[in-house]
Structure 1
Amino acid sequence: MTDYSVLIPFVPRRLEQTLPFAGLVNWTPAVRLWQGQSMILEPHQTFVGAAGAGFRVPVGFGVTLMPLRHPFEAANQARSVALATGHPVIAGFGPGAPAFQQNLLGAPYDKPLAVARQYLTAMRGLLDGEVVETDGPAFTFRGQLAPAAAPRVDVGLGVLRPGMARLAGEIADAVITWLTPPSYLREVIVPAVEEGMARAGRTERPRIVAMVPVGLEREGTAPERLALASNFAHFQAPHYLDMLGRAGVDTGGGDVHAVARGAVDVGAVVTGDPDTVVKRLDEYRQAGVDEIVLNTTGVHKMFGAQEAIGDLTEILRGAV
């Protein structure tokens, strides 16, 4: 059975803004609260603050950016969240864009896959209580976390294309995708993950998590507008255009509106009446997804928090 979860659909500036979404995990069948990387209210602090406010729920980071943290600090922070919430954590990481790497590190990663391999391998060892010794390409250190009985932290990898999916199949506990339609997951991502598993001799597949932009239809609001409100920047980013093109979207004309319409057509953005939304989300289950994260960013931007919460509540009621 596929689980459903909730993404905080905005960049929080105050803790209390996030609590109604944490409440959905308490009061609906949603299994986890997720937040992506934020440069304002940092996700680790958001979740610990929510726990202190009485909303101790399972959480996921989808995804935080590797250039911001040494892997020892990343492991310590993720375990701290597990201790504070009292629940297991999925700590997802990604390398970020080359320009982001350049700005923070002085140069982009020469081999992002090799850096991601070192980063996740070191984190997994630290979280398992091991003494980790690692030497390059990005980090050289020796360390061990202080012993503590904490809920498990699964280490996830943000995945968009086959190379990272194969690596996730080798070493990650979770595969985390964004804006990837069911056909692309079924035909590209899941087989690549399984290739990585075979290469590493793994028998248990990592948990596959899909962040899905979603919203109920509203009179006078074209699906294209919801898609643009949710993912305008992604529809212009080369790596997302490459992925959507492989999934059957015509991305060659440079028209962001056409790309948004194509994303809706292939199910990368899910909208419609409640029955239609539930049926289209089920395509992700059929593609092999273990956890669907409902991303109502577009609804929140266009109509506000109450409408986003209303959509989430209705979709969860129908889907679970």
Structure 2
Amino acid sequence: MTGLGAIFLPQNPPERLRSIARAADEAGLEQLWLWEDCFLNGGVSAAAAALAWTTRLRVGIGILPVPLRNVALTAMEVATLHRMFGDRAIVGVGHGVQEWMKQVGVKAASPMTMLREQATALRALLNGESVTTDGRYVQLEQVKLDWPPEQPPALLVGATGPKTLRLTGELGDGTILTGGTSPDGVRAAREHIGAPDGHQLVVFLPAALGPTAADRMARQQERYGMDFPGVAGDSQAVAETVALFAEAGATTVVLQPTVDDPDPEGFVRAVATEVRPLVG
């Protein structure tokens, strides 16, 4: 069965997260995803709060930009989330937006090398290993978590281009694709990833529900010009589009509301109670 979730956009103030997370949990939504976009909400702090406010909801961070954190700190934070909340915590890592990374003085000369070194070290640390490495960007000397996760979590990596997609297939248990990816883009990503059938593929799908859906989606497309603008309409239209992505190879589709959605709590409820029953 295709996994289904929704996104809490960081354009919402952080204090709005509580009501949206609780609405999602009470409605039976499977997953609520957060973004660590600069310079909005902190991903780990927001995820920890959302997990603490809920009982069943899985909370994903898509993604933590690896240049912003030492990999030992990332491992400590991910391990802590998993020790406290088990597999309800989902964490993805990635390059980050290069313009933002430059803005804060951490842009890597070789983002691919940095991502490879970080992902390799992160997996080993979360496996409870003692890690010593002297890479271009990651230098660790006998670093070992005192409280690793009881079960190593899946390592998800965000990717867009072919080289990064191949890297996610090599190093990751799953890949996160950004909003605006088309079903054909999902198929192409699958080819680049080249991973076995168990590899997760999470896709963000722009979606708008309600009487103003078409107008809001048109404004969003005018602003961002995505390759695939998303879907606007009723729950049936959204479910049919989710099915297209599932057929293309997505294992989880996460619906991304428009920034000007008038009712974010209503959006997550509708995804859980109206769209979910229509998705196989």
TM-score, reference length from structure 1? 0.77
Distance in 1 between the 2:265 and 2:48 partners? Answer: 23
Aligned residue for 1:129, secondary structure, equals coil
Q: Which residue of structure 2 aligns with residue 281 of structure 1?
A: 242
Deviation for aligned residue 1:16? 5.2
User: Shift in Å at residue 164 of structure 1?
Assistant: 0.9
Bigger RCO of structures 1 and 2 (CA < 8 A, at least 6 apart)? 2
Q: In 2 relative to 1, CA 319–10 (structure 1 residues): closer, same or farther, beyond 3 Å? A: farther
Deviations 1:90-144 (A, max 9, x none): 21112123322223335x3222111111111110000001111222221211211
Counterparts in 2 of 1:7 and 1:230: CA distance versus 1, 3 Å: farther
Distance of aligned partners of 1:314 and 1:185 in 2 relative to their CA distance in 1, 3 Å threshold: same
Q: Which residue is equivalent to 1:109? A: 108
- What is the match of residue 200 of structure 2? 207
- Taking the TM superposition and a 5 Å limit, the aligned residue runs for 1:124-139 are 124-139=123-138
The letter for the 2-side match of 1:212 is L
Q: Secondary structure at the match of 1:154?
A: coil
Compared CA separation, residues 121 and 230, structure 1 to 2 (3 A): farther
1:303 is paired with a residue whose SS is: coil
**In structure 2, C-alpha distance between the alignment counterparts of 1:231 and 1:129, rounded to whole Å:** 47
What letter matches 1:304 in structure 2? D
Structure 1 residue 92 corresponds to structure 2 residue 92: yes
Q: Name the SS for the 1:138 alignment partner.
A: coil
Deviation at 1:213, TM superposition (A): 0.8
Partner of 1:31: 30
> CA 1:204 to 1:117, structure 2 compared with 1: closer, same or farther past 3 Å?
farther
Shift of 1:4: 0.7
Output the CA distance in 1 between the equivalents of 2:134 and 2:123.
16
Corresponding residue of 1:226: 217
Structure 2 residue runs of 5 or longer lacking an equivalent are none
Q: 1:309 to 1:5 in 2, by over 3 A?
A: closer
> 5 Å matches for 1:38-187?
38=37, 39-55=39-55, 57-105=57-105, 108-142=107-141, 143-150=143-150, 152-178=152-178, 179-186=180-187
Task: Summarize the Cα distance change of 1:93–1:276 in structure 2 as closer, same or farther, 3 Å threshold.
Answer: same
Query: 2:184 is matched by which residue type in structure 1?
Result: S
Q: Which residue of 2 aligns with 1:304?
A: 263
SS in 2 for 1:301: coil
Displacement over 4 Å in runs of 4+: none
The offset of 1:279, in angstroms, is 1.0
How far off is 1:173 after superposition? Answer: 1.4
SS in 2 for 1:289: coil
Q: Does 1:6 align with 2:1?
A: no
Alpha-carbon contact 2:177-2:202 (below 8 Å) kept: yes
Shift in alpha-carbon separation, 1:319–1:36, aligned structure 2, 3 A: same
Contact 1:168 1:175 in 2 (8 A): yes
Length, aligned pairs only: 276
**Over residues 33-81 of structure 1, what are the superposed CA-to-partner deviations in whole Å (9 max), with x where a residue is unaligned?**
2101143442211222233334453221111211211111111111111
Seq. identity, %? 21
Amino acid of the structure 1 residue aligned with 2:200: R
TM-score by length of 2: 0.87
**CA distance 1:78–1:26, change in 2 (3 Å):** farther
1:208 counterpart SS class? strand
